[in-house]
Each structure stands twice: as C-alpha cells, then as structure tokens.
Structure 1
Amino acid sequence: MLNQNNNTRNVVLITMVLAAIAMRLVNTQFPALSNFTPVGAVALFGGAYFTDKWKAYMVPLVALFVSDIIINYLYAGKLTFYSSSLFMYACFMLMVWVGTFIKKVTALNVIAASIVSVLVHWLVMDLPFVYGMPNTWANYGTLLVRAIYPFETNMLIGDAIYGAILFGGFELAKSRYNVLRTERPLAL
C-alpha cells in the first residue's frame, strides 16, 4: 500500500510539473513575457517534494529539456541548442538544490527560495563568457544591469505566481488526500 501511495504521489507531482512547464510554451509566444515562466518554480517544487532526490532533478530537467526542444523547433524550425544552454541547465540544477532546503512549505520559505533561485540565475547566466564576451568586470556589470528588467523581474514574478500555484495546489491536495502525504520529511 505504501508503494502505491508513493506511486500516486509521484504521478501527481510529475503531472503538476508537466502542466507548469507546458505554460512555458504559451509564454514564449509573447515577447513581453520573456522569462515569465514556471522554470524556477518547477525546480524549487521538484527539489522540495520529490522524496527520491534523483527524481527531484530528473523530472524537472527532462521537462525543461523537452520544452526546449519544442520551443527551439517552433522558433528556429530545427533542433538547436546554444552554448548558454549548459549554463542554464546548471542554474536549473542549482535551483532544484535550493528547493531541497525547503523543510516546511510556508509562503515565506517559498518566497525566500524563489529569490535565491532568481539570484542564482541572474549571477550565473550573465557571466560574460556565457555569451562569448570578454570576461571583464565592466561587461559583467553591464549584463547584470541589462538583465534586471524585464528578464529577472519577470522570472521573480513568474516564480511567485507559479510557485503559489504549485506549492499551494499541492499543499491543498495533500490536506484533502492522504495518499499524497509522505512519512518522510521534505528535503532529505
């Protein structure tokens, strides 16, 4: 029975991740929504809720990878990856890791984790060598300032909204359905 409960919980978690990542496909159709995606929230959600940590990393990473393939095909008409993609996936893995530190799901903990994940993204993705620029402090500073609006601002807002939906939705579901609860504490 315990294994069936765990399977049901995993199916619900995976479905929620896939539904959220599907919104990324919608958001990419509107340039004003650049970086207003569920990516950070999905990473934190996976890190916090999957009891098997390999699933915490694999489910969101595979969902991101598949959505990247679809988005690249829609925009470029071919399967394309960029040199910055590896850094983006590294950021995403760090965001999952941040999610593993959410021991108790509260609005404050999720907001704090969202801010940390956006900072990770901002500081790593704007390193000059990621985009082939000379690696100088001036270039780094310029990229950091340019990224604040709309990219990182939209990411923070997206994390807040999608995080509220994912974390709030799952906590609500857990309160109604015992099968979604786990004996193991979060973030082991």
Structure 2
Amino acid sequence: MKTKNNIILIAGTLLVLAISRLLPHPYNFTPLGAIAILGATYFQSSLLKYIVPIVAFYISDLLVTNILYSSYYAGEGIIWFSSHMIWTYGAIIGITLISSWVMRSKKFKNLLGASVVGAVLFFLITNFGSWIADPIYPKTAGGLITAYVAGIPFFPSSLASTVFYSVLGYGVIEYGSIWLRKLAFSRA
C-alpha cells in the first residue's frame, strides 16, 4: 500500500482504534497490541511502522489519563507522560518488531499468530516493568514471579482484545483498500 489514500486509511484506522479507549470497555480490553501489529503489517516505511502506532497510542494516553483518570491526578495539571508508560511503549516497539517479521505475508493465520505473540510479549514486558517500578514487589526472583502471577487475571482480556482489534482493523484496512482501488478505477 503506497498511495497517500492508503496511508491515510491505515493511520486513520489506527487512530480510531486508539481513541476507542475512551469508550466504556471491559478492564484491560484495549487495542494496544492490535495498533502495533497493524502498523507493522501495513506501513512499508520502517519509520511509520513505529511512529504512527506510538503517536496514536500517546494521543489516546493523553486523553485517557487527563479525561477518564483525571480524578487520580487532581491538582497536577495536564499529565504529559508518566514513568509506567516507558514499559507500555517498550511493549509497542517489541510487538511492532516481531509483527514486522511475522506479518511479512499478510495472511489471516499470521495475524492470529502475531496477536497471540503480541499479547504474550505485552504481558511479559509490562509485568516486568511493574516488578522493576513498584516497591510492593521485592527485587528477587520470587518478587518477579509474584509480579507475573499478579498479572495473570488481566491476560485473558489482553489476549482477546488483541485478537479482536487486530481482526477488526485488518478487515477495515483490507476492505477499505479494495474500495479505494475500485474508486480509483472508476475515476480512470
């Protein structure tokens, strides 16, 4: 997908998915992994593969933190960045890197594989970050295991949402690109 319209379609889909975090949803059911997977799948530019998903998620983080969770940060003004986000963005980069390899062939089965691997990677990176950053966990092997065990209840929603949003975004982009080609052909 090289045309300007396709880039707008892909970036727009990722941005809409990111902003969907503002809608009511089950806990930990977010499009994070899907945004990284779809960016890696459809952007040919290595720069866009990483930048667009990170920017889309950063915009949604700004909105979620400062609108939905503003009561947690009362009196602090606008929250532009918080330290826990480093681990989330690290997960986005990792998912993008792996998905760039897995999704070289844009097959549906590869999308499902990338979704599972992406959800597992997100679990591993963010719970490792919790262990590093949260003083509740001792900095021992037992503390790391405790951090991972504490994250297990959140994993099913993360996995389901990564698969759901990846399939949804894949469908929108694939069918949207077909529609754009037909539109361009009809104008020719």
TM-score (norm 2): 0.83
* Structure 2 counterpart of 1:185: none
Confirm or deny that 1:105 pairs with 2:98.
Answer: no
Q: Secondary structure at the match of 1:126?
A: helix
Match of 1:25 among 22, 25, 28: 22
Residue by residue over 1:110-135, the C-alpha shift from the partner in whole angstroms, topping out at 9 and shown as x without a partner, is 11111111111111111211323332
The farther-off stretch of 56-65 and 122-131 is: 122-131
- Partner of 1:160, secondary structure, is helix
Gaps of 5+ in 1: 181-188
The residue aligned with 2:181 is 178
Conserved 8 A contact 1:87-1:130: no
Is 1:155 aligned to residue 154 of structure 2? no
How far did 1:174 drift? Answer: 3.1
After TM superposition, give the deviation of residue 57 of structure 1 in Å.
Answer: 0.8
Alignment partners' CA distance in 1, 2:138 and 2:122:
20
1:107 shift after superposition: 2.4
Which residue is equivalent to 1:51? Answer: 44
- Identity among equivalent positions (%) equals 23
4+ long deviations beyond 4 Å: none
Cα displacement string for residues 161-183 of structure 1 (whole angstroms, at most 9, x for unaligned residues): 11111112222233443389xxx
Looking at structure 2, the residues matched to 122 and 63 of structure 1 have their Cα atoms a distance apart, in angstroms, of 20
SS of structure 2 residue aligned to 1:82: coil
Q: 1:36: which partner in 2?
A: 29
Contact 1:40 1:95 in 2 (8 A): yes
Q: 1:38 Cα deviation (Å)?
A: 0.7
Give the counterpart letter for 2:119 in structure 1.
Answer: V
Deviations 1:52-83 (A, max 9, x none): 11111111101111111111111125333332
39-48 or 116-125, which moves further after superposition? 116-125
CA distance in 2, matches of 1:69, 1:174: 30
Name the counterpart of 2:186: none
Q: Could you tell me how far apart the structure 2 residues matched to 1:122 and 1:44 are? A: 15
**Amino acid of the residue matched to residue 60 of structure 1?**
P
Q: Which runs of 5+ in 2 are unaligned?
A: 184-188
In structure 2, the CA distance between the partners of 1:113 and 1:130, relative to structure 1 (3 Å rule), is: farther
Q: Secondary structure at the match of 1:177?
A: helix
Q: Distance in 2 between matches of 1:152 and 1:130?
A: 20
Counterpart amino acid of residue 141 in structure 1: I
- Paired residue secondary structure (2:106): coil
Tell me whether 1:136 sits opposite 2:137 in the alignment: no
TM-score, structure 1 as length reference: 0.83
Q: Is the 1:8–1:179 Cα contact (8 Å) retained in structure 2?
A: no
2:59 is the alignment partner of 1:66: yes
